[in-house]
Structure 1
Amino acid sequence: MRKLENKELERKSVADFKEAEKTPITIILDDIRSLHNIGSVFRTADAFLIEKIYLCGITAIPPHKEIHKTALGATETVAWEYHKEVTHVIENLKKDNFEVFAIEQVENAVFLQDFAIEKRKKYALVFGNEVYGVSQKAIELCDGSIEIPQIGTKHSLNISVSAGIVVWDLFQKMKF
């Protein structure tokens, strides 16, 4: 076994990425305060060819050197928009036939492993503030909530870790 060299990884160029068929997942970041978390989510979105990221509320926008540290150029490949109000983004996506799910611990949440996707649907995932989570006003507009089961003492994960787990799970359910 040997480690692959970068030239063997068949990485897409920026132009190839923009032309590639995207995974029908959109990410909504609402009131994310950590620039490193924002950059990490961009990098995850790039890795799985995510359609778009919406940055809402206090969430910082590129270009920003602290976002770039973890995004490593993904802000140049992944489509994104900023909107002040997360509720407007959710309402507009629902009008465009997206199924919108908060990634949050709420009553009647579906555990991630039990969440079944429908192959022809488009999904939007709402990730909330590192301290307060997804706002209640956003939750009320969502079609449901997905919870990552946790059995330790903390029952919370870093936003970028949560995004990676959920996006990978939905990606593999859609593609494999």
Structure 2
Amino acid sequence: MQLSHFDTHFERANFPVSVICDHIYFQQNIGSLFRICEAFGVNEIIFTGKDIPLNPRKINKTSRSTHLKVPYKIFEDSIELKHYLQENNFQIIALEITQNSQSLSSVKIPKNQKIALLLGSEINGISEILLQIAHQILHINMYGENSSMNVVQAASICLYEITNRIQNLK
């Protein structure tokens, strides 16, 4: 018999992970990112860009009210965000397909360090200014003809791997 949401007793955890949304504007993706970040115990979401559409009415449908539970910040300027990440000693992991990206399975999670997971916009990916400061650039191996997937699907796969690795460090 399937359990209801009230009958499940998953262990609650909060991980030192901040999800960085670099110019992500599609409201369904934003709502779904709140939902998946809450499910994986992400510390916060950081948006970069101007006029991020955080209209609670539209986001609530896909977030299922998790936008009220996951703290978030907005940096309008990528340079300001770059300084914030560097000054706060984040291990910066970019999820992007590049000439030198490595498979997600090779991710290295340092013990007792904050992680910033960089996710790129639905159209242009991660901006060059943020990609340049990444300590690791990772991609998800795909075996079909398509070379990309939705940002929320990719974030889900990556957060599963990262949170499992953090749990194994304990």
Instruction: Give the structure 2 partner of residue 48 of structure 1.
Output: 40
Instruction: Give the structure 1 partner of residue 125 of structure 2.
Output: 133
- Percent of aligned pairs with the same amino acid: 24
| 1:123 aligned residue (115, 121, 128) | 115
| Residue-pair matches, total | 168
3-state secondary structure, aligned to 1:27:
strand
Deviation string, structure 1 residues 9-42 (Cα, Å, up to 9, x no partner)? 2479xxxxxxx76201100101112101011111
| 1:155 aligned residue (128, 144, 147) | 147
1:90 maps onto 2:49 in alignment: no
The Cα of 1:50 is off from its aligned counterpart by 0.5
Which range is displaced more, 49-58 or 3-12?
A: 3-12
The Cα of 1:76 is off from its aligned counterpart by 0.8
Instruction: Give the counterpart letter for 1:92 in structure 2.
Output: Y
Taking the aligned partners of 2:67 and 2:136, their CA distance within structure 1 comes to 28
Instruction: Give the counterpart letter for 1:115 in structure 2.
Output: V
| Consecutive aligned runs of 4 or more in structure 1 exceeding 6 Å deviation | none
How high is the TM-score relative to the length of structure 2? 0.90
How high is the TM-score relative to the length of structure 1? 0.87
Structure 2: runs of 5+ lacking an equivalent: none
| Residues 69 and 129 of structure 1: CA distance in aligned 2, closer, same or farther (over 3 Å) | same
| Residues 59 and 113 of structure 1: CA distance in aligned 2, closer, same or farther (over 3 Å) | farther
Instruction: Give the structure 1 partner of residue 2 of structure 2.
Output: 3
Taking the aligned partners of 2:66 and 2:53, their CA distance within structure 1 comes to 13
Instruction: Give the counterpart letter for 2:159 in structure 1.
Output: V
Structure 1: runs of 5+ lacking an equivalent: 13-19
The Cα of 1:63 is off from its aligned counterpart by 3.8
| Residues 109 and 122 of structure 1: CA distance in aligned 2, closer, same or farther (over 3 Å) | same
Instruction: Give the counterpart letter for 2:102 in structure 1.
Output: V
Taking the aligned partners of 2:154 and 2:88, their CA distance within structure 1 comes to 25
3-state secondary structure, aligned to 1:141:
coil
On the 8 A contact 2:119/2:151 being kept in 1, the answer is yes
On the 8 A contact 1:55/1:61 being kept in 2, the answer is no
Instruction: Give the structure 2 partner of residue 22 of structure 1.
Output: 14
The Cα of 1:107 is off from its aligned counterpart by 2.4
- Alignment root-mean-square deviation, CA: 1.9
Q: Counterparts of 1:70-109 in structure 2 under 5 Å?
A: 70-109=62-101
Instruction: Give the structure 2 partner of residue 17 of structure 1.
Output: none
